[in-house]
Amino acid sequence: MTKTANTTIALAGIVVAGAILRFYGLDWGAPYHHFHIDEHFVFVGADNLRTSLRTAALSPKFFMYGPLPMYLLNVARWVYEAVAGPLHLSVSDDGYRYMLLGRAISATLGTLTIPLVFLIARRAGGAVAGLIAAALLAFAVIHLRDSHFFTVDITLIFFCVLAWAASMAMADHGARWTYVVAGAAFGAALACKYTAVFLAPMIVVAHACSPATPWRERTVKPWLRWALAAAVPIAIGSVVFLALDPMIVMYPDKFAQDVREQITGPLLGGARPLWNAHFRGIQPQLYWFTNLLPWGIGPAFMAAGLAGVVWLVTRRTRLAIAAAAYPLAHYAIAGQTVTPFMRYSLPIVPGLAVAAGVLGADLLRRPGWRRPALAGVTLVVALTAAYAASYMNIYRQPDARLAASALVYDTVPKGAAVLVEPSHNVPPMGSYLTEPDFYRDYVNWGAETVRRDDFTLYTLDVYRYLYDTRVPSDDKRAYIKRRLASVDFILMDDTFVELYDRLSGPSHAPVREYYRDLFDGRLGFELVHHVARTPSLLGFTVDDEAAEFTFTLFDHPEIYVFRRLGPHAGGVPLENGPAETSDRVQ
């Protein structure tokens, strides 16, 4: 066979492997729509868009994300309903199908990004570079993980990489179609998430690297033409963005409010909500290299990718500079946030894959470096693939929250008083477990909320009331004591345990003391169940508890069930249950 045929077969194998990793276990946690709250906001936005633009735009936090993924879901839903009949999202089975439709879009676009990365790396460093880059992206844990979610991120990355691929062609030969495609993809990426603005300087750099750049001209006119050409993809992107998201013009006040409250305020440090408390005290720019990337793609991939970026810059060819512009532009903009969530590192991953691919291929072409380069490339790809295979353990078994629900029904008498927190990760109980309704909010909000649904659920409001610095500490301690006295069981996940662990000061001391004393057994409750999931392969377990909190939060949080020791609080007698059990699957 020819080299081209061999390359095509190898690429096909890589893409198939990437698809398997992205589609396997795609129904995790369905149809329990609160398990990934950002995913839920996208699903809700898509459903609201079917009613009207106004309904969607005025719904809570709508402008936190762009509408393009929502449009794609509505198209998929329209096709499905034309074939199989309407979906009624208040019905559990239809909610399940709806979630699968959305996640299938992410898995599909995540898979399609792999051959795009191949094309970029091949243009910059040849077919071998393309295959290495494609393999690294196919096995990148953070990319395959988020391909299991219907959030905006994977759709964003697909269009970012499409814009990058067109920009690389622009730098190579400067054909007119490259400007159109780069601009359209730029606009589509912006319509997924506003952070795609980093593509603008990347496109300008690619244009500067194109053969049409009049470097030897000293007159103004050629440079004016060059500047106008540079503005073309930016203008096309702006038009496409506004066409896809006219609501920012139709409802500017709501747009400004959502951006201020959900994006610029918390992400740049102007607001300090509880949900980003775990970033207090970190150095956010270094955190990318000490946490996000080591856990998101593995230390070997990270090291190869960063070395590759340096290699591209020192290579000093037009295509190498255009290739390096993508990861550098992304980090220069996204790296400024004071809240570096794991998913914020996603767009840079294709850039690191391409950089590592070009570095590996270049070294393989050097006679004196061939053997060590082959060993290095093989090791990096193998370690990345092993990490990906271990992460599939998360989707190989029932979701930790659903496993905990089964344990609760085995351990806790019906009607018993249970303390829960206002968390999206509280295991489903009652009607939420048996007949989840997409349109219902099952989180127990409010400091004094009591809900009866198979069990009597008392809220411990660690989200608002106990976080409020205006509430005296003595009042907080009294509130905690009163709520504990009302219950015989405590059901919780690790969300607020992790968040309060990073908070200091006397105002937050009551909650920190509560968690400390609870886990130390000083509150009269014993831990009877601990449910956790970890990446695992061939008996080797990856303890990812040190990863940025949201790396585990969405698809494998830890769940705890405590039982009162001694006299019970309510009228339901406590039976002798099992000693502490752990459902931590290795």
Of 174, 167, 176, 187, residue with least CA distance to 213: 174
Q: Which DSSP state fits 251?
A: S
Element (H or E) spanning 133, and its range?
helix 127-139
Separation of alpha carbons 18 and 11, rounded Å: 10
- What pLDDT score was predicted for residue 3? 85
- What token pair was written down for 436? 């989840």
Strand partners, 451: 457
Distances (CA, A) of 278 to 145, 282, 339, 342, 461: 21, 9, 9, 12, 18
Which burial class, exposed, middle or buried, applies to 97 when counting CB atoms under 10 A from its CB (0-12, 13-18, 19+)? middle
Contact 149, 342 (CB under 8 A): no
Separation of alpha carbons 148 and 154, rounded Å: 9
Of 216, 440, 168, 453, residue with least CA distance to 325: 168
Separation of alpha carbons 254 and 60, rounded Å: 9
The CB density around residue 252, as the number of other CB atoms within 10 Å, is 10
Q: Which DSSP state fits 212?
A: T
0.75 exceeded by the pTM? yes
User: ∠33-159-105 over CA atoms, to 5°?
Assistant: 35
Contact 377, 134 (CB under 8 A): no
Separation of alpha carbons 291 and 304, rounded Å: 16
Q: Which region, left, alpha or beta, applies to residue 521 given φ > 0 means left and ψ of -120 to 50 means alpha? A: left
Measure the CA dihedral 227/179/111/1, to 10°: -120
Contact 333, 197 (CB under 8 A): yes
Phi and psi at residue 297, to the nearest 5°: -130, -10
Q: Which residue's entry shows tokens 């691919």?
A: 357
Measure the CA dihedral 155/160/166/168, to 10°: -140
* Tens digit of pLDDT at every position of the chain (586 positions): 788 889 999 999 999 999 999 999 999 999 998 899 999 999 999 999 999 999 999 999 999 999 999 999 999 999 999 999 999 999 999 999 999 999 999 999 999 999 999 999 999 999 999 999 999 999 999 999 999 999 999 999 999 999 999 999 999 999 999 999 999 999 999 999 999 999 999 999 999 999 988 888 888 888 899 899 999 999 999 999 999 999 999 999 999 999 999 988 888 888 888 888 899 889 999 999 999 999 999 999 999 999 999 999 998 899 999 999 999 999 999 999 999 999 999 999 999 999 999 999 999 999 889 999 999 999 999 999 999 999 999 999 999 999 999 999 999 999 999 999 999 999 999 999 999 999 999 999 999 999 999 999 999 999 999 999 999 999 999 999 999 999 999 999 999 999 999 898 899 999 999 999 999 999 999 999 999 999 999 989 999 999 999 999 999 999 999 999 977 665 444 444 433 444 443 3
Element (H or E) spanning 323, and its range?
helix 318-334
Separation of alpha carbons 286 and 328, rounded Å: 15
- What pLDDT score was predicted for residue 569? 60
- What pLDDT score was predicted for residue 2? 85
Separation of alpha carbons 284 and 419, rounded Å: 35
Q: Which region, left, alpha or beta, applies to residue 117 given φ > 0 means left and ψ of -120 to 50 means alpha? A: alpha
Instruction: Determine the straight-line distance between the first and last CA of the chain, rounded to whole angstroms.
Output: 43
Give residues with Cβ within 8 angstroms of 35, minimum separation 6. 29, 399, 401, 424, 425, 554, 555
Separation of alpha carbons 560 and 494, rounded Å: 8
Give residues with Cβ within 8 angstroms of 314, minimum separation 6. none
Q: Which DSSP state fits 574?
A: P
- What token pair was written down for 325? 């512009």
Separation of alpha carbons 320 and 57, rounded Å: 42
Evaluate the omega torsion of the peptide bond into residue 31 and state whether it is cis, within 30 degrees of 0: yes
- What token pair was written down for 100? 């699968």
- What pLDDT score was predicted for residue 580? 40
- What token pair was written down for 242? 């506004």
